[in-house]
Amino acid sequence: MAFPQAPMASSDPATSAAPPPTATAAGPARILVVGGGGRENALGWALARCAGIQEVWIAPGNGGSDALPGCRSLPIAEQDGDGLVAACRERGIDLVVVGPEAPLAAGLADRLRREGLAVFGPGADGAQLEASKQWAKALMVEACIPTAGYWSAASREEALAQLERLNRPLVVKADGLAAGKGVTVAATVEETRAAIEEVFDGRFGAAGASLVLEEMLSGPEVSVFALTDGQAMVLLPPAQDHKRIGEGDTGPNTGGMGAYAPAPLLDAAALEAVRRTVLEPTLSALRGRGIDYRGVIYAGLMLTASGPQVIEFNCRFGDPECETLMPLLGPELAAVLLACARGDLAAAPALTIAPGCSACVIAAAAGYPGEVRRGDTIEGGLDPSDTLQLFHAGSRLESDGRCVTAGGRVLAVVAQADDFDTAFARAYGGLERVSFEGITYRRDIGHQVRRRPSLPST
Ligand code: AMP
């Protein structure tokens, strides 16, 4: 079951003045989380519950950040390196946790480390695991990590010639960061050709200057997260998310409409096998390239008939997997992330993981994943508890105090219980207590692990 909240220290983040860093061997006291989504609110919430924490800041955060116990938002953009460095100095921050991939790929962690700060998140070199599909595929092949066969192409002509030679449907992936939209799983050769044209027509900007063509795999997907200091690693429970907008896993892909953990698809022995065959070889290949990777390695796996294969690597926590997993993690989390940042994970306290089930349902704005309305008031609220949480994602606080919608995925409601049926019933029950114009959510999140998935019970 979820952990009770650790008592918070009494200092008021809004009024405290420029304290010196106070991290101890046991853990940090003042943390800055960088990012403005549901993932960063969940990280802030979980870190603020850890023992010895005085303050957690979320920059820029969103409309829900200030409501999280022990958290405050800071109006500094995630790409504003100078602003973030200054904030760390002013507030005596002793651990920075960078949430999203774009600032990591742009070198934010390198910048902060040059200032002497402890940072959980890889430098630009390690972030290539996510920021370049070609780079990640080459690393996987070199390290004998199971993954789909692939071909790189730097021009339209090269890609089309490869398709001509292979003459079968392929998966087309823009090489760079494309906000989760750069992949087409084509059903026919014609669709493959159209997807190639789209990449080189500039749909993904610089991210589509080159691409990867991949063999099609099939099987259920599961996400595995390793926290690492570049040498040792701690694995979190495997999670499964729902990418499609529609019930029954239909319709266009989204950033994720819900998730659950632990995913029974990977039992403890299978998770250990993933550590041995995927994560440890990846870390060792990174080290072989001179990369000191301190942060999360997120392996998106497909469980094929011939075993787990890597579909993608990400250099940060998944969203909504992060919201789902954080409530299962123990009060050692802050010390563990600091140890990753400092390179001494082997000496960190063991991270306890609650044995229960966690369920997360996303409430999106009408029209998502296409154009969405913004500015609708978010009404209601739930009483958060040790087993029920509300994390804001696309929301904003107006000057008149109203919290309004400000993005596609607006809220994440997360609940824990001893079994998935109860956890999902709790999450859907919580969701019924919040509303905004056009609220949209799937009622069948976790259908794989629920007995009556189509009936949201309260
Ligand atoms: P990615 O951004 O690489 O994770 O891809 C997005 C989604 O495309 C994945 O979650 C899979 O559902 C699908 N996908 C990616 N690569 C493959 C593949 N080689 N075979 C089948 N489906 C894939």
Q: What distance in Å separates the CA atoms of residue 79 and residue 170, rounded to the nearest whole number?
A: 35
* Three-state secondary structure call for residue 102: helix
In 3D space, the residue among 169, 148, 364 whose CA is nearest the CA of residue 253 turns out to be 364
d(CA 192, CA 394): 33
Query: 389: burial class by Cβ within 10 Å (0-12, 13-18, 19+)?
Result: buried
List pLDDT tens digits, range 237-255.
999 999 999 999 999 888 8
* Residue of minimum CA distance from atom 15 in ligand 1: 311
pTM score, whole prediction: 0.93
Phi, psi of 75 (to 5 degrees): -80, 65
- Establish how many alpha carbons lie within 13 A of residue 423's alpha carbon, considering only the half-sphere containing its beta carbon: 32
Residues 204/178, Cβ–Cβ less than 8 Å: yes
pLDDT(309) > 70: yes
The vertex-323 CA angle with 319 and 325, nearest 5°, equals 105
What's the confidence (pLDDT) of residue 24? Answer: 63
Does the CB atom of residue 214 touch ligand 1 within 6 A? yes
**Average pLDDT of 303-331?**
97
Compute, in angstroms, the gap from residue 226 CA to the centroid of ligand 1.
20
CB distance 221 to ligand 1 below 6 Å = yes
Does 182 score more than 60 pLDDT? yes
Centre of ligand 1 from the C-alpha of residue 212, in Å: 12
Residues 10-64 pLDDT 10s: 333 333 344 555 666 567 899 999 999 999 999 999 999 998 999 999 999 999 9
Q: Does residue 47 contact residue 334 with C-beta atoms inside 8 Å?
A: yes
Say how many Å lie between the CA of residue 190 and the centre of ligand 1: 19
Mean pLDDT over each residue of the chain, to the nearest integer: 92
CA distance 271 to 277: 10
Using a 6 Å cutoff on CB, does residue 349 contact ligand 1?
Answer: no
The residue with greater pLDDT, 359 or 382, is: 359
User: pLDDT tens across 324-369, in order?
Assistant: 999 999 999 999 999 999 999 999 999 999 999 999 999 999 999 9
CA distances from 24 to 53, 119, 178, 339, 387 (A): 11, 15, 39, 11, 29
Residue nearest to atom 4 of ligand 1 (CA): 312
299 lines ligand 1 (CB under 6 A): no
Model confidence pLDDT, tens digit, residues 272-297: 999 999 999 999 999 999 999 999 99
222 lines ligand 1 (CB under 6 A): no
Residue 207, ligand 1, Cβ within 6 A: no
pLDDT at 348: 96
Contact partners, residue 455, CB within 8 Å, separation at least 6: 443
Give the residue, out of 244, 312, 314, with the most ligand 1 atoms within 8 A of its beta carbon, to mutate for a pocket test. 312
Are 213 and 153 spatial neighbours (Cβ–Cβ below 8 Å)? yes
Distance CA 31, CA 94 (A): 6
Dist CA 66 CA 114 (whole Å): 30
φ, ψ dihedrals at 360, nearest 5°: -130, 130
C-alpha 297, offset from chain centre: 10
Distances (CA, A) of 388 to 20, 100, 364, 384: 35, 24, 19, 5
- Per DSSP, 362 falls in state E
pLDDT tens digits along 112-136:
999 999 999 999 999 999 999 999 9
Establish whether residue 185 lines the binding site of ligand 1, counting it when its CB lies within 6 angstroms of any ligand atom: yes
Cα atoms found within 13 Å of the Cα of residue 172, Cβ hemisphere only: 29
**Is pLDDT above 80 for 415?**
yes
